[in-house]
Amino acid sequence: MQFGIMSVSDITRDPVSGHTPSEAERIKNIVRIAVHAEEVGLDVFAVGEHHNPPFFSSSPTTLLSHIAALTERLVVTTSTTLITTNDPVRLAEEYAMLQHLSGGRMDLMLGRGNTAPVYPWFGQDIRQGLPLALENYNLLHRLWREDVVDWEGQFRTPLQGFTSTPRPLDDVAPFVWHGSIRTPEIAEQAAFYGNGYFANNIFWPKEHYQRLIRFYRQRFEHYGHGTQKQAIVGLGGQAFIAKNSQDAHDQFRPYFNEAPVYGNGPTMEDFESMTPLSVGSPQEVIDKTLTFRDAFGDYQRQLFLVDHAGLPVDMVLHQLDLLGEHVVPVLRAELESRRDPEAPANPPSHADLVTAKYGDESPRQPRPNANRGDNVTGGSPYQDSETAVSEYPTL
Amino acid sequence: MTDYRLVVVSAGVSDPSSTRLLADRATQRVTDLARERGHAVSITTVDLRELLQELPAALSSQLLGPRFTRAIDALGAADAIVAATPVYKAGASGLFTSFFQVLDNDLLIGKPVILAATAGTARHALVVDEEMRALFAYLRALPVPTSLFASTEDWTDTALGTRIDRAARELVLLMESGFARAVRDDAWGAYQHTYGSAGGTELDIDLDSDMMRLATGGSLRTSAEDDPFDPRRA
């Protein structure tokens, strides 16, 4: 079971001190937070993608490759990568590059993005959000698995003889999660390809997420990727921890009350009783998190939202200390002891995917042929291609 | 002899409330008429002011508290509805419209409804027909032809009793017709639903759609048969 944190990348005024961090400050601090996540023993750092203020994370692969360079074990990922407004060709290239630079310590989670004005900034239309997401992933999937792709779809210019470079590390595509909270088609796509499914598990009662996760598990089995228990499920959640329940509530309340996502809506206590939010002592957070497994079955990744709503960086770093010291070790032991042996303990790592593809053989290392100006002639621009053309006509 | 479930939704906030009074008079008439015709009626009353505390969360985060959930369950199972509101500033009360705006679009499809409003002046009389009717048309509910409206002077006028009688009779006839149930049984799929809508009951997923084909590696482009110039055509 992997534990980690996910950041929305919001730059929010601290309602207690009145301080609004600059972009420079927040970007420096997110790196500290990510590095500290590894120091306290967490496994995963995820960052969102946004293209409007007050968010800073427009370029997740740049941030994540920097974080990967500063860490040893941490898996870097996204929460989420916009599969709608990004060209899947650019996604294939950028995330393959991140995969190389991080030594395979990465995966990514795809999401649609629900901010309508962002779509036209990238030449798209939110009314086509769902077909865009589905079609773009279909292309992305092929770009990482076929050296040369011919492709024609509804939304982007056709591709003839296109090769996405660099080829994925060891010629094994990065593991992909599909994030969704209300769209059966996305769960179906995750199941069809045998990819992971992630529910943010933040805003709604658990029943809401249960239905789609159950559907995803059933369809994963239907498509022959394994049993329902073997499907790869990830969950979000948010926690605020203090030594005792009262301190946690007192410290978090001003941030909750003014948080852009909940501000002026339900009370914190209502939100705690109706959603997966846990505010309290380590034991309370542990107890609440354990209910996720009861609701959704054995799952492989738990990400907590800890750095939002204007919480100052020192408080966030302290939250990580508490998570790493008092919460996650207990959760690891508890969840491992309860896990059905049929269910995987972790989502597939790069090493797992390499073994699955090659067994004991050494992985393919693509080496390009000399430049001939196109990819169209012959089967592949790489030297190991069986159908490579060895001689070219000269004029 | 059939057992009918009638749900009364009242947005009156004072106690006693004239809105609730109008709703109760209509409900009593519906019950009497149904009984005369050999039916039993069970009544659930949803006093919207009791949902006020849960309303901010419902509006801002779609988080439904326990009272909202009970109200929605009752409406989903209802054979007929009486919906009554006071008129404020020339419109149905904000509480009333907010409540119906939170409901799933398909929760009330085909259900017969008596629309009723109260006001301090007869100048608000058209609020029922011009505003509330539009809201229920959007929800594809079936408001009865006779609208109920009572301003201060109507409470002493026997004509109000006549209109209540008319509306109640219309509601009973529509309820007896079984229209809402027939729509649900015969044509439910022809309406637009979202996953988990209709109060959380609409959970079927249509696997045979263009989007599902696209989700499983298919293409949105037209098939060769649709295009006479497609080179793929034999």
Question: Are residues B14 and B78 part of one domain?
Answer: yes
Please list the pLDDT of chain A residue by residue as tens digits (395 residues).
Answer: 999 999 999 999 999 999 999 999 999 999 999 999 999 999 999 999 999 999 999 999 999 999 999 999 999 999 999 999 999 999 999 999 999 999 999 999 999 998 899 999 999 999 999 999 999 999 999 999 999 999 999 999 999 989 999 999 999 999 999 999 889 999 999 999 999 999 988 777 777 788 899 999 999 999 999 999 999 999 999 999 999 999 999 999 999 988 877 766 778 888 888 888 999 999 999 999 999 999 999 999 999 999 999 999 999 999 999 999 999 999 999 999 999 999 999 999 999 999 999 999 999 999 988 776 665 555 678 888 655 455 555 66
Give DSSP secondary structure letters for A269-304: HHHHHHSS-EEE-HHHHHHHHHHHHHHH-S-SEEEE
Note whether A20 and A11 are within 8 A (CB).
Answer: yes
- Which pLDDT value is given to residue B233? 61
Q: Is residue A378 part of a domain?
A: no
Which residues between 15 and 34 in chain B have a beta carbon less than 8 angstroms from any beta carbon of chain A?
none
- Which pLDDT value is given to residue A361? 95
Question: Are residues B24 and B127 part of one domain?
Answer: yes
Could you give the CA distance from residue A6 to residue A76 in angstroms, rounded to a whole number?
A: 10
The Cα of B100 is separated from the nearest Cα of chain A by a number of Å equal to: 18
Mean pLDDT, all residues of chain B: 91
| Range of the structural domain that residue A41 is part of | 2-358
Number of domains in chain B: 2
Question: Are residues B185 and B76 part of one domain?
Answer: yes
- Which pLDDT value is given to residue A299? 97
Q: Is residue B180 part of a domain?
A: yes
Cross-chain residue pair A138–B217, CB shorter than 8 Å: yes
Q: Is residue B234 part of a domain?
A: no
Question: Are residues B143 and B209 part of one domain?
Answer: no
Which of A182, A188, A265 lies closest to B212 in CB terms?
Answer: A188
Chain B residues with beta carbon closer than 8 angstroms to that of A140: none
Cross-chain residue pair B60–A266, CB shorter than 8 Å: yes
Residue A178: phi, psi to the nearest 5?
Answer: -110, 120
- Overall average pLDDT of the B70-80 stretch: 96
Q: Is residue A88 part of a domain?
A: yes
Q: Is B221's pLDDT higher than 70?
A: no
Number of domains in chain A: 1
Q: Is residue B233 part of a domain?
A: no
Which CATH number belongs to the domain containing residue A72 in this structure? 3.20.20.30
Q: Is residue B39 part of a domain?
A: yes
CB count in 10 Å sphere of residue B190: 7
Q: Is B77's pLDDT higher than 60?
A: yes
| Range of the structural domain that residue B201 is part of | 194-226
* Contacting residues for A326 by C-beta, under 8 A, at least 6 apart: A241, A282
Which of A80, A78, A2 has its CA nearest to residue A38? A2
Cross-chain residue pair B211–A270, CB shorter than 8 Å: no
Question: Are residues B122 and B40 part of one domain?
Answer: yes
Q: Is B71's pLDDT higher than 90?
A: yes
Q: Is residue A385 part of a domain?
A: no
- In terms of residues, how long is chain B? 234
Cross-chain residue pair B63–A203, CB shorter than 8 Å: yes
Question: Are residues B200 and B96 part of one domain?
Answer: no
Which of B59, B63, B211 lies closest to A274 in CB terms?
Answer: B63
Question: Are residues B150 and B55 part of one domain?
Answer: yes
Q: Is residue A377 part of a domain?
A: no
Any CB–CB contact under 8 A between A349 and chain B?
A: no
Chain A residues with beta carbon closer than 8 angstroms to that of B219: 135, 153-154
Could you give the CA distance from residue A168 to residue A135 in angstroms, rounded to a whole number?
A: 21
Question: Are residues B65 and B146 part of one domain?
Answer: yes
The Cα of B140 is separated from the nearest Cα of chain A by a number of Å equal to: 24
- Which pLDDT value is given to residue B122? 94
Chain B residues with beta carbon closer than 8 angstroms to that of A154: 219-221
Question: Are residues B106 and B215 part of one domain?
Answer: no
Tell me the pLDDT tens digit for each residue of B10-40.
999 988 899 999 999 999 999 999 999 999 9
- Which pLDDT value is given to residue B104? 92
Question: Are residues B31 and B105 part of one domain?
Answer: yes
- Which pLDDT value is given to residue B231? 62
The Cα of B10 is separated from the nearest Cα of chain A by a number of Å equal to: 23
Cross-chain residue pair A185–B56, CB shorter than 8 Å: no
Q: Is residue B25 part of a domain?
A: yes
- Which pLDDT value is given to residue A31? 98
Chain B residues with beta carbon closer than 8 angstroms to that of A205: 63
Which residues between 161 and 200 in chain A have a beta carbon less than 8 angstroms from any beta carbon of chain B?
182-186, 188-189, 192-193
- Which pLDDT value is given to residue B193? 86
Which of B60, B214, B220 lies closest to A265 in CB terms?
Answer: B60
Which residues between 32 and 51 in chain B have a beta carbon less than 8 angstroms from any beta carbon of chain A?
none
Could you give the CA distance from residue A54 to residue B5 in angstroms, rounded to a whole number?
A: 50
Question: Are residues B136 and B20 part of one domain?
Answer: yes
- Which pLDDT value is given to residue A390? 53
Which of A155, A180, A185 would best serve as a mutation to test chain B binding (most B beta carbons within 10 A)? A185
Side-chain-side CA neighbours of residue A223 (13 Å): 20
